[in-house]
Amino acid sequence: MRTTSKKLCGGRWISTVAMWPSMSTETSGAGSGTDMAPPARATVTRGPPRVEQEGRGHGRLWYHPRVEAASLQAPQQHPERKADGTVTTEQRTPSEGGTTVTVRNLFKVFGGNEEGAMARAVTGTTKEAIQEMHGSVLALSDVSFDVKAGELFVVMGLSGCGKSTLIRCINRLIEPSAGEVWLGEREITAMDETELREVRRGSIAMVFQHYGLLPHRSVVENVSWGLEVNGVEKRHRRERAEEALAAVGLKGVGDRMTDQLSGGMKQRVGLARALAQDAPVLLMDEPFSALDPVIRRELQDELVKLQAELQKTIIFITHDLDEAVRIGDRIAIMRDGVIVQLDEPSAVVLSPANDFVREFTRDVRLQSMVTAGSVMRAPTHTARTDQHMSEVLAALEEGDHLSAPVIDGDGCCAGTVDLLQLRHALEEGDGPVGSLPLAEDSAVAQDAVLDELVPLGLRSDRPIPVVDDAGRLVGEIPLDALAEAMAAGEDSESPERGAPAE
């Protein structure tokens, strides 16, 4: 097994690659199990590296620089780089805190001489210099992160940054050169071929950019193909495939052939195939990048909706920052095989960690980042559905308010009512406010972005009610607050936007 320790060198955090006590290269015995404790910290011994071998459960030999073992009982540290460039560290085992996928100190070197390239990388040698010295391509360098259960975790960067290599190292379609990948309490990088096959069949599903549908099979047969491989009885796999197709908006197309589908429909079939497997973890490698903008946006919305319903753990690869911001709970930005910033979408855009991230995010419209929850204010006045119209009218006139959100007995927003509506209704007689046709479509969720709020503000002169996930009123956005937020977004698109503090 391998481990690394973090230390500050030349103003930047680097890791020293190491290994903990080696195991036999045989595939049997304790060394091939998945219930081993996380490795201890170790340090690289200076001087010419001595190549040592460590057997994996599947018999492959892994090479590492010479090491000295430190405390064999120390828990592994989990660093995370913040927007200000600092690294915070928590000591916990990979399975704690609701974490589904844990990646620790992952390296991948193509072209041979892995140990030499890794030894250079941990001393801060650039990717280009390593390639010149060793003829090796450093695709991943000391990558560490946790993905929480139910999180939509986006990895993004320019072509060649290592993002697709990373996602393939997670399920070992590509073998890492060093480091660890955990699925809950099971270490994927320590599994033999049988264990790995089980994980790929039942725990991790993958959706590719090129959907890879089988042209001689119908849509439902394509979706159920993985279930067929797993030995699921035909009737049950048909049922699960139809359910997955309905979930992605393709109900009733199961008997069509794939050449009868559009590109967007084919990608939905690819997603349905992954959902039919019912794996808790989805790996999605640029699944929407080949589609036209309208279809891509529809599928992004569909994915967010499905995620809210199914609560899968998703690792999503993209080179499109707008897509990452739109769908991601957190974003990891990569450059030259290294994660340069890992943060929530708003923090990535508003507080870039360095010049690279700042340049990367400069064209993002901040109106797509500001949410209703961040600009809302406490309601100036509310009405209850059981209040008499005359009582509500008197309160509005006394407070010089034009309208008020109306809540029911549970505090849920039933709509809004205004002065003119009340005065007109009272001409016919008094009664409860809840009997009026309230403007029910005026409320917005707390996570609604500014771009969604502006049309509502243009259609009405009323404050916009803001509700939580249960529909309860939590605030309102007066039109002056909406105007201020719009002006702030325009001002912040200057070249100085988001410059980190010195």
- The number of angstroms, rounded, from the C-alpha of 169 to the middle of its chain's C-alpha atoms is 17
Residues 417 and 288 in one domain: no
Residues 338 and 310 in one domain: yes
Q: What are phi and psi of 27, to 5 degrees?
A: -90, 0
Residues 212 and 90 in one domain: no
Q: Give the model's pLDDT for residue 489.
A: 57
Task: Establish how many alpha carbons lie within 13 A of residue 107's alpha carbon, considering only the half-sphere containing its beta carbon.
Answer: 33
Q: What are phi and psi of 187, to 5 degrees?
A: -90, 110
Domain at 444, CATH number: 3.10.580.10
What residues make up the domain containing 23? 2-145
The answer as to whether 391 is a domain residue is: yes
**Number of domains forming the structure of the chain:** 3
- Distance, in Å, from the CA atom of 83 to the CA atom of 351, rounded to the nearest integer, reads 6
**pLDDT tens for the 502 residues of the chain, in order:** 444 333 333 333 333 333 333 333 333 333 333 333 333 333 333 233 323 333 333 333 233 332 222 222 233 333 344 444 333 433 334 444 456 899 999 999 998 888 889 999 988 888 899 998 888 999 999 999 999 999 999 999 998 999 999 999 999 999 999 999 999 999 999 999 999 988 988 889 888 777 678 888 888 888 888 888 777 888 888 888 888 888 888 888 888 898 888 888 888 888 888 888 888 998 988 888 877 788 888 888 888 888 888 888 999 999 988 889 889 999 999 999 999 999 988 888 878 899 999 888 887 777 777 788 888 999 989 999 999 999 999 999 998 888 999 999 999 999 999 999 999 999 999 999 999 988 777 789 988 888 888 888 888 788 999 999 899 999 999 888 888 877 765 555 544 444 333 3
- Distance, in Å, from the CA atom of 308 to the CA atom of 152, rounded to the nearest integer, reads 10
Where does a domain end: 367, 399, 432?
367
The answer as to whether 18 is a domain residue is: yes
Where does a domain end: 342, 367, 392?
367
Q: Is the dihedral of CA 22, 24, 29, 33 positive or negative?
A: positive
Residues 16 and 131 in one domain: yes
Residues 357 and 422 in one domain: no
